[in-house]
Structure 1
Amino acid sequence: MLTVQAMRAYPFLIILQITTILAFPVLVMKHAHADTPQPQRIVTAPPDITMGPLFEAVQKAKMFPDQKTFVDAIPRYSPSAIMADYYMQRRLNSFDLQHFVRHNFIIPADGKGYIPPGGQTLREHIVDLWPHLTRSTPDITRWDSLLPLPNAYVVPGGRFREVYYWDSYFTMLGLAESDQWDLIRNMVQNFAYQIDRYGHIPNGNRTYYLSRSQPPFFTKMVELLAKHDGDNLLVTYLPQMKQEYQYWMDGENSLQPGQADKRVVRLGDDVLNRYWDDRNVPRTESWLDDVTTASQVPESERPQLYRDLRAGAASGWDFSSRWLKDPMKLSTIHTTDILPVDLNALIYHNEMALAKASRLADKMTDADHYARRADKRKQALNRYFWNAEKRYYADYDWPQGKVSQQLTAATLFPLYVQAAPQDYAQETAQAVRDELVQEGGMGTTTEHSHQQWDAPNAWAPLQWVAVEGLRYYQQEALAEEIAVRFLNSVQHTYEREHKLVEKYAVETGELGGGGGGEYELQDGFGWTNGVTLKLLSLYPPQQRDK
C-alpha cells in the first residue's frame, strides 16, 4: 500500500494503475471457453508501463546480461509500492540500484539446471527432455509478467520460460511422435483459452507479448490433434478458429484500395495480411537494443521504427534481411511495408480449415463463405507473391507495388499449404535446391547479415515446412536431402555437446550451433526436439544408411 507521505510526494502513483490499464488496451476480457478451467487473475500492464523510470534505469545500467531477465522478474510488492519506494530512495547518496532490485524482485533462474544422463541416443534424449520442458502455471503471483494458463504446456528452454505460439506447433509434432496426446490436448486447450480471453493468441504468455501475435498455426494444431481425436474436434474449436481469423482480418471492411489498417492491406479487390504490433515503443524484453537501434534514425521516425521492430518479432523471424531495406542495418527495418508470403499462405490454410470445420458443423453458408475467401487468396498468392523473373515465391512490398527479389525459406510455404500450381512448385523447388540447400540442411536466406534469421543459419520449423511441402509436390528426393542433412547437423552437435539447440549453422566450414541475433544460443530446445523426432520417424538411420 502507498503511504500518505508517498501519495503527497508523488500523486502520479495514485493513478498509476488506472493509467497503465488505459495505456495498454489489449487487456479486455473476452468470452470464456465453457469447457476450460479459468485461472483467476487480473492482468496488469507490462513492466515498462507499470514501472517505467525504474525499468529504464535497470536496463540502461545493464544490470543483467540478458535484458529479458528483469522483465521476467517477479515483483515482491505492487508496482505502485515499489515505485513509491524507488522515488524516495534514489535521492539518497547511499542508493544502490542493484540492491534495490534484489530486495524488491525475485530474479528468475538461468534455466541451466538440467544435466542429461550419458549414453542416450538422440531420440532417447529428446523423449527424456519433455518433462523438463513442461510447465504448469494455473496460479501465479499477482504482479508477475507471466500470464496464467489452465493446463500444462511445453516451453522452448533456456531464456524462454514461457510458451510461444508458433514454436508450439512444431513442438507438438514431436509430442505426437512420443505419444504425448494428453499434453498436446492441454496445449490446444490453452491456446483456445487465450483466444477466448484476449481475442487472439499472443506471441507468448507474458503481459509484454499481448500486443502482438505470431504466425497463425492454431488450426494446424487442431488438425494435428484431430488426427488422433477425430474430425469433430474441428467443430469443437470452430469458435476459436473463427475468432482468430477475425483478429487477423480486423479492419478490412473500412479499407480503400492501397490502404492498410493493423494486420490487413487492401490491394485492389484483394485483402492480404502483414505483421503488426499494437504498440510503437521499444520492445519490453529488448528495450535497450531497440533504443540503441532507434538512435540511428531521426526522433520523428522512431515510433514507426519501434512498430516495425515489434512487427518483426511478431513474424517469428526476428530478425532477418527479409524486413530490411539495407541487410546490414537493422535501423532500415520496414516490416509493416511487407506482405509476407508465409503469413498469407498460412491464412489461406486457415480459410480452408474454417470451410471444412463449418461443413462438419453443418453451417453451409459459412463453409461457402470461407471457401470463396480461400480461393480468392489462393489466386492472390499466385499473382502477388510469384516472382515471374526469378521463378519462385517471395514477399511483396505493398507501398512499392513489387515482389521481392530475395529468395528465402519462406518461399516454400505455398507448397506447404498446397496452394501452388504444379509448375510453380517445381520451379520453386529448383530454386531452393540451387541456392538454399547447404551441407547441414536448408538455409534460411542467402544473405550474411549477422541477423539470426539469415545465412548461415537453419531453423527446425523451416526444415519441416520444406519437407512437408516438397513431399506433397512429389519432390521426395529434395525433401529427403534437406531432412537428412539437417538431421546430421543435429546429430553431430548432439554427439559433441550433448544438447539440441535453437538454430544451426549449416554452411560448409560453419557447422554447429548457429549465431547472430540479440541473445546467446539457446539450448533445450522445443521446436528442434519436435521436428527432429518427426524427421527421425520419416527417415530413420537404418534407412538413411542404405
Structure 2
Amino acid sequence: MAADTLTPADRYQELFVAVQDGEVFEDSKHFVDCVPRDDPEQILRAYRRERNREGFDLATFVGEHFDEPKPAHSGFRPHASDDLARHLDRLWEPLTHRASPKVMGSLIDVPTAYPVPGGRFRELYYWDTYFSMLGLAASGRTGHVRDAVTAIASLVDRYGHMPNGNRTYYLSRSQPPMLACMVQLAEAAGAVDPRDLLHALRREHSYWTDGADALRPGEAHRMSVAMPDGAVLQRYWDDRDSPREESYREDVATAAASDRPVHEVYRDLRAGAASGWDFSSRWNDVPDDLATIATTRIVPVDLNALLVVLERQIARLSAADGDDESAAIFTTAAQDRCEAIDRWLWDDDRGVYLDRDIRSGELRASLTGACVVPLFAGCASDEQARRTESAVRDALLRDGGMGTTEHATGDQWDQPNGWAPLQWMAIEGFRRHDLPLGDEIASRWIATVRSVFEREHRLIEKYEIDGDDGIGGGGEYELQDGFGWTNGVTAALLAGWRPPHL
C-alpha cells in the first residue's frame, strides 16, 4: 500500500487527540510513527463505532490496529573490544535506512538509502544528514554520501523544500538549509556531479525567499523579512499554527502557560523546531520560560549565513553550466546578503554576530553558538572572525567544547549541553581564519566524546560539557543514543577529513 498523504492528526482526527491526551504512549512521537495495520479510514470508523461501548479500552484498540515503531538501531550491539573508531565504523550500517512504498503511515518514501540519527529519530532529518555525511565521507563510503544527498534532493524536487524530516507531520517546515553544504561535500568526495543538483538548489532558494520581492520595509511573509532599509533577510517558519504532532502534549501545555493566543505560540514552537534548536533561551523573551518563545519575531544569523552558501553554490554551478546570467544574479544576491548580515546582525561594539528582534528593532542580547556560522559559511572578515573568537572564548568555551548559549534553563539547546554540529561549524569556522580556537575546540570535544564512550560504550546526541559526567540532558524527551551527527563529526575529526571551505 502507498504511504499516507495526510499527517496523523489530519488522518485520525479525534482518535489522534484521544491517544495523545490519554498518554497511551509516554512519548508523543511514538504514536505518529506507528504503522496502521488496516486502511486508516477503516481504523477511524472502527474507533467511532467502538469508543462509547462499555469496556472500551483505548490502549487495547491502538495495539490491535497499529504496529509500534522500534528504535532506529535496535538490533545493534556494541563490542566491548571495539575502540572509538571501530565502534563508529560499525554504526553506519545499522543507522542506514530505506523507506518503502509498501509501508503505510507517516513515513515518506525516498529513492535511496539514507542515514538516520538513532533512537526515536527513525527518519531522514535535514541538517543532521550533513554532519552524518562528514563521517561517511571520512570513512570512504562514497555510495552512502551519494545516496544521502540524492534522498534530500528528491524531497526538495517533490515538495519544493526539504522537510524537517521525511514524515508527513514535518512537511510544513524545513530545517537549517544545508543542501548546498551537502552538495559541496559530496562533490569533494567524488560522489556526484554537482550540476545534477543545481535544480534542487534553486528550488530550495525559491522556498526560503518566497514573497521577498513584494515586501516593503518592515513587512514579512513566511520566511522572508524586509529590514528597515529594504534588505531582505530570512527567519525560521512553519506554515501550520497547531501543536506539533510529535510533541502534542508538550505544545498544548506550553501554550496554556502563555498569555498570548495559542496559535501564535504554536507557530513559534514549530518555527523553533525548524531552527533545529528546539528548544533554547535563544528564542525566548524570558530565557527560562518557553511560553515566551518568539522565534518568528527573530532574524537569525545562522540561517542567513547558510543562505549565503546556497546563493554562492548556485552562482558557481550556474557558471559551470554556462548560465552566466544566473551566475551573476546569485553572486550579487550572496554579496548583498553578506552586507545585510554585517549591517543588521553584527554587533561592532561587542565584536560578535547576534540575532535581531523584528519587533524591538534591537539585537538580541544573548550570545549563542550560532555566532560561528558566518565564519563557517565564509561571510566573515578576518577581523570579525578574530573578534568572534575572543567573544566565544570569553563566554561560551567550556572544558568539553563550545557551549550553546549563556543560559542554563533546562532546555536542551542551552547550558550545560554541547552539540556536535555547533562544534564542527566552530572548528571549521575558526580554522578557516587560521585561529587557534578551532583546534582547541576539536581537542576538547573529542576528549568529551571519548570519555563517555570509554565509560559507557555509546555515543549520544548531546553532551554535558560543563562537568565531569558528560551526559547531556534537558528537553522534551529522554537522551538518545546513536547518534548520527555525533558519529559524523567525531569520525571526521578522528580521520582528519575536511571538505574544502564553503
**TM range, smaller chain:** over 0.9
Displacement of 1:388 in angstroms is: 2.2
Residue 323 in 1 paired to residue 320 in 2?
no
Tell me the residue number matched to 2:387.
Answer: 427
CA distance in 2, matches of 1:266, 1:172: 34
- CA shift, 1:416, in A, is 0.6
Displacement of 1:254 in angstroms is: 1.9
AA aligned to 1:169 is Y
Match of 1:171 among 132, 143, 150: 132
**Of the candidates 117, 128, 136, which is equivalent to residue 79 of structure 2?**
117
Residue 261 of structure 1 corresponds to which residue in structure 2?
Answer: 221
Deviation at residue 402 of structure 1 after TM alignment: 1.2
Q: Deviations over 1:470-524 (max 9, x none)?
A: 011110x211111111100100000111000000000134x31100000000010
* Unaligned residue ranges in structure 1 (runs of 5+): 1-39, 540-546
Return the offset for 1:188.
Answer: 1.1
Which one of 158, 162, 165 corresponds to residue 204 of structure 1?
165
Q: Give 1:79 deviation, angstroms.
A: 2.1
Which deviations, in whole Å up to 9, do the C-alpha atoms of 1:416-462 show, x marking residues without a partner? 11111221111110011111110111111110011000000000010
Give the stretch that moved more between structures: 530-539 or 344-353: 530-539
Once residues 69 and 309 of structure 2 are traced to their aligned partners in structure 1, the CA distance between those partners, rounded to angstroms, is 38
The alignment partner of 2:189 has SS state of helix
1:103 aligns with 2:67: no
Select which of 386, 392, 397 maps to 2:346: 386
Q: Which residue of 1 aligns with 2:377?
A: 417
Q: 1:189 Cα deviation (Å)?
A: 1.0
Following the alignment from structure 1 to structure 2, what is the Cα–Cα distance between the partners of residues 330 and 366? 42
Q: CA deviation at 1:93?
A: 1.5
Of the three residues 476, 486, 492, the one matched with 1:528 is 486
Q: Aligned pairs, how many?
A: 495
Query: What does 1:156-305 correspond to in 2, within 5 Å?
Result: 156-229=117-190, 233-267=193-227, 268-298=229-259, 301-305=261-265
Q: Is it true that 1:487 corresponds to 2:449 in the alignment?
A: no
Structure 1 residue 140: deviation in Å?
A: 3.1
Whether 1:92 aligns to 2:53 is yes
- Residue 513 of structure 1: SS of its match in structure 2? coil
1:162·1:204 contact (CA, 8 Å) conserved in 2?
Answer: yes
Identity %: 46
- The 1:442/1:246 distance shift into structure 2, 3 A limit, reads same
Q: Which AA in structure 2 matches 1:254?
A: A
Instruction: Report the alpha carbon displacement of residue 43 of structure 1 after superposing the two structures with TM.
Output: 4.5
- 1:271–1:43 CA distance, 2 compared to 1 (3 A): farther
Q: 1:127 aligns with which of 85, 89, 104?
A: 89
**Once the two structures are superposed, what CA deviation does each residue of 1:242-264 show, in whole Å capped at 9, x if it has no partner?**
01000000111221110000000
Is the contact made by 2:312 and 2:334 (CA closer than 8 Å) also made in structure 1? yes
Contact 1:138 1:151 in 2 (8 A): no
Contact 1:338 1:396 in 2 (8 A): yes
Q: Is the 8 A contact 1:212 1:314 kept in 2?
A: yes
Offset at residue 114 of structure 1 (A):
1.9
Q: Quick check: 1:358 aligned with 2:318?
A: yes
CA deviation map 1:273-313 (0-9, x unaligned): 00000100000000000001111124x61101100000000
Provide the rounded CA distance (Å) in 2 between the counterparts of 1:360 and 1:301.
Answer: 50
Distance 1:140 1:182 in 2: 24
**1:63 aligned partner:** 24
The separation in 1 between residues aligned to 2:93 and 2:380, in whole angstroms, is: 39
The corresponding residue for 1:498 is: 457
TM-score (norm 2): 0.96
In the aligned structure 1, how far is the partner of 2:302 from the partner of 2:145? 24
Contact 1:140–1:148 (Cα < 8 Å) also in 2: no
- SS, match of residue 272 in structure 1: strand
The whole-number CA distance in structure 2 between the counterparts of 1:508 and 1:81 is: 53
Match of 2:232, SS?
A: strand
Question: Which residue of structure 1 lines up, in the alignment, with residue 500 of structure 2?
Answer: none
Render the CA deviation track for 1:21-48: whole Å, top value 9, x for unaligned. xxxxxxxxxxxxxxxxxxx946511111
- Whole-angstrom distance in 2 between the partners of 1:508 and 1:42: 45
Shift, 1:155, TM fit:
0.5
AA at the equivalent of 1:182: G
The equivalent position to 1:153 in structure 2, one of 95, 102, 114, is: 114
The CA deviation string for residues 226-251 of structure 1, in whole angstroms up to 9 with x for no partner, is 11338x82211111110100000011
Kindly state the Cα deviation for residue 225 of structure 1 after the two structures are TM-superposed.
1.0
Partner Cα separation in structure 1 for residue 483 and residue 190 of structure 2: 27
Structure with higher RCO (Cα < 8 A, 6+ apart):
2
Q: Distance in 1 between matches of 2:452 and 2:102?
A: 36
What is the distance in 1 between the residues matched to 2:100 and 2:351?
Answer: 49
- Give 4+ residue runs of structure 1 displaced > 6 Å after superposition: none
**What is the Cα deviation at residue 331 of structure 1?**
0.6
SS of the residue 1:91 aligns to: coil
SS at match of 1:161: coil
3-state SS of 2:92 partner: helix
1:80 to 37, 41, 55: 41
Q: 314-323 or 185-194: which moved more?
A: 185-194
Unaligned stretches of 5+ in structure 2? 498-502
Correspondence 1:330-345 to 2 at 5 A: 330-345=290-305
* Counterpart residue type for residue 336 of structure 1: T
> Quick check: which has more Rg, 1 or 2?
1
| Corresponding position of 2:471 | 513
Partner secondary structure for residue 239 of structure 2: coil
Distance 1:164 1:184 in 2: 14
Query: Which residue of the other structure, out of 110, 133, 139, is the alignment partner of 2:101?
Result: 139
Contact 1:463–1:483 (CA under 8 A) maintained in structure 2: yes
Which region of structure 1 is more displaced relative to structure 2, 162-171 or 187-196?
187-196
- Distance in 2 (CA, whole Å) between partners of 1:138 and 1:241 is 25
Residue pair 1:390, 1:405 contacting (<8 A) in 2 also:
no
RMSD of aligned alpha carbons: 1.4
- Kindly indicate whether the alpha-carbon contact (under 8 Å) linking 2:315 and 2:327 is maintained by their aligned counterparts in 1: yes
